[in-house]
Structure 1
């Protein structure tokens, strides 16, 4: 469910990025209380067209929820263009409550992250909350940006280093700019990370790895970690959403389903405790079928990235086109992305509430 929230601040981060803070009224504090690493979906009608975009919360998780998100402009991006050029303090934006499973509940241990570009956003919340709440925890942040001028939240990460010098290790690389000190410039691919990570920290002793950014970086970091013997269960990843497109890199292979997409199927869905059954039109995804009858069905990117439309498959089989959002254990537990799932059996039953 969306609620209209007032824009409390719009802060310029770089030439092409802003941080937007949304005011949460007292009666909605519990609704918008977030776990570090979660994201929110923003909705706005632009030129008569409803536009939804998902952005990660960068603020630490506090008693009184602070909704602050980083928005980077992308070419032809409807919402990002609006946010950078028009959005102002006092405006109202429809906001969905926080969701997402790329999270870390504060606990003792040693944690690390490899992030690129705007992938810093959820990890900033994760690291700040962990260090503030758990005195024995340590965090190593390895971030990469094109140039120093393009890096989002530089001041915030520098502040963490000043506040927690013994427990927060920051490594910043640039792919398109040489620096007088620090690591050489260049992409952080699997080969480079395989050499770099063991030199920075005891890889085997890290209790949890958080990878966020472009698909190429996340995939390369995952390959490097698995090659270094890190159990897959310790690796958590999130591909950042780029204005309605997931790029041309291949997604993580989706769970195969027997049979092809039939021309006729019935989709049964449970949403907010109410169940309904409807015929699917040829070629429709499960989400498209449900939306024709339940406009309140949750979704954001429709590109298999954000995971907002995650459902549990209770009966039947589906074919997922792509999967950037679900981790292996979720797929094994029967979860699918409604926006990418096509019925592969005459009947399909899903649960949005699971």
Structure 2
């Protein structure tokens, strides 16, 4: 089960005017617990104005050897969200030597390194997990290749510019980099402008053999990810080969209307080997009900994006408001997001341990 541990901040590196990389030192006794796959994320927690504030940030450092002791350090990228509850603190207040509460790694936007051609379309801070995926893949698999198509506003706003350039220098024959700037003209390369469905439909086949790509990784704002997915599906790519992680959800993705819960609904839960059952209050999500009785229930964003609160639906039916974290095969297998789920039957049973 995911748990929080205090980790000291080993480095704070300014990436752009509005983003930083935070590096945490992992003590020997916790390295096995912080073993991670390339593409996973960490939830960070702080108390602010009496509230428990949690936000998830993707790990950008390469994944350690799965047979080793685990990572000595972990690095995440944080971009400022104006009015946000965590990112202003991370950019303006966190210093080397501070301790932050860090949850053990989670997330399924991952790639197990294997031979083949892989590709990613990312926007803005969506580069963060893909940097870990690409760096780990290229280091472990000598025959693997990776194509990165990234979209940013300007050169000055581009996160991990030097780290991506370093990958290009180390693997010139196996790492292909394509950069598109939406608000700045480049001296060479592609014209400026947004990467939408229409543009990607024409661009992708010109860059690489689309049908030969073993896995597509789409990460960034909702509009970019949805446009890229539709372009790929239009080019004949099967949904199973497309992996998505949404970083920003806007008005383009409104929540679904959720039917009123039946009267006197109850949720029964198995969590960390222990069970319990509690009544669901009117309007509550299942996660909110569980948290009133089990504060140790796993969650981070509460927005249907990170997937930390994923649970298996053992019995009953639920309605989810949003889902930007679970793959179709996960929902078909019976998994739901507790933070977005409301009971549609009088009794619902969830298992957080599966």
Question: Does TM, normalized by the shorter one, top 0.5?
Answer: yes
Q: Select 1:175's aligned residue among 167, 178, 182.
A: 182
SS at match of 2:348: strand
1:239-258, aligned counterparts within 5 Å?
A: 239-240=246-247, 242=248, 246-250=249-253
The one-character-per-residue Cα deviations of 1:306-334 (angstroms, maximum 9, x if unpaired) are 10001110100011111111111111111
The one-character-per-residue Cα deviations of 1:36-74 (angstroms, maximum 9, x if unpaired) are 000010001123322100000000012441310000001
8 Å contact kept, 1:263–1:281: no
1:169-248, aligned counterparts within 5 Å?
A: 169-240=176-247, 242=248, 246-248=249-251
SS at match of 1:150: coil
Consecutive unaligned residues of structure 2, counting only runs of 5 or more, are: none
Following superposition, which runs of at least 4 residues in structure 1 exceed 6 angstroms of deviation? none
SS at match of 1:149: coil
Q: How many residues align?
A: 347
Q: TM-score, length-normalised on structure 1?
A: 0.96
Counterpart for residue 310 of structure 2: 310
The one-character-per-residue Cα deviations of 1:126-168 (angstroms, maximum 9, x if unpaired) are 0000000000000000000000100000000000000000000
Offset at residue 260 of structure 1 (A):
4.6
The one-character-per-residue Cα deviations of 1:157-198 (angstroms, maximum 9, x if unpaired) are 000000000000000100011111110000000000000000
Q: Distance in 2 between matches of 1:208 and 1:163?
A: 22
Alignment of 1:23 with 2:52, yes or no, is: no
Offset at residue 347 of structure 1 (A):
0.2
Q: Distance in 2 between matches of 1:274 and 1:87?
A: 36
Counterpart for residue 99 of structure 1: 106
1:1-354, aligned counterparts within 5 Å?
A: 1-63=3-65, 64-65=70-71, 66-240=73-247, 242=248, 246-250=249-253, 260-354=260-354
SS at match of 2:293: coil
Q: Distance in 1 between matches of 2:294 and 2:250?
A: 29
Q: Distance in 2 between matches of 1:47 and 1:81?
A: 15
Offset at residue 114 of structure 1 (A):
0.1
Q: Distance in 2 between matches of 1:172 and 1:185?
A: 9
After superposition, the CA RMSD in angstroms is 1.3
8 Å contact kept, 1:285–1:341: yes
SS at match of 2:187: coil
The one-character-per-residue Cα deviations of 1:294-313 (angstroms, maximum 9, x if unpaired) are 00000011011110001110
Q: Distance in 2 between matches of 1:23 and 1:263?
A: 49
Q: Distance in 2 between matches of 1:60 and 1:178?
A: 31
Q: Distance in 2 between matches of 1:302 and 1:344?
A: 20
SS at match of 1:155: helix
Q: TM-score, length-normalised on structure 2?
A: 0.96
Q: Distance in 2 between matches of 1:231 and 1:264?
A: 42
Q: Distance in 2 between matches of 1:297 and 1:343?
A: 18
